[in-house]
Amino acid sequence: MTETKFASMSAKSMSTMKESFVEMSSSSVMGKSSMAQLESSTSKMLKSGVRGVPPKIEALPSDISIDEGKVLTLSCAFSGEPAPEITWYCRGRKITSQDQQGRFHIETSEDLTTLIIMDVQKNDGGIYTLNLGNEFGTDSATVNINIRSI
């Protein structure tokens, strides 16, 4: 059996290797032992935070115009590992969970965050900022919301 050494390997690629190794192993005893060692190594790498990716805003419009009374949906794709903390601001003021009990709602999935404003009012206009942050960095972007009176 030949031994292959890797100079460096990410936890993500180690997980892929674990899956491939299990499928290709011809000896169940050796496979179980090697798989346990690999799982232990992968777990240690993940816990020690050896690798990560700073957050990045992938797409956010720069200006939006919407009629008063409509529903505004502002979505932004993002990336980062570990998943970044997401904060939305309206004219420099953080949109809080208390705001979300009313007309403002924030929905976030693995790689998309969406700010929803129900029944948009004239005073909802202005600069909105999205901030992302994790232990590897930060990213932010702004969008100008213009509310048209009807």
Q: What are the pLDDT digits (tens) for 55-109?
A: 999 988 889 999 999 999 999 999 999 999 999 999 999 998 787 779 999 999 9
Sketch the domain layout of the chain as residue ranges: 11-48, 53-148
Q: Please report which confidence band the pLDDT of residue 6 belongs to, taking 50, 70 and 90 as the band edges.
A: very low
What percentage of residues in the chain have a pLDDT greater than 90?
57
Q: What local confidence, expressed as pLDDT, does residue 33 receive?
A: 41
Residues whose CB is less than 8 angstroms from the CB of residue 98 and which lie 6 or more positions away in sequence, other chains included: none
Sheet holding 104-108, edge to edge: 53-59, 72-81, 112-117, 104-108
Q: Which residues contact 84 (CB under 8 A, 6 or more apart)?
A: 55, 78, 132, 133, 134, 139
Please tell me the pTM assigned to this model.
Answer: 0.65
**H/E element holding 23?**
helix 11-24
**pLDDT in the model for residue 51:** 86
- State residue 39's pLDDT score: 53
- 53-148 is a CATH 3.40.50.300 domain: no
Q: Are strands 63-67 and 137-148 parallel, antiparallel or unpaired?
A: parallel
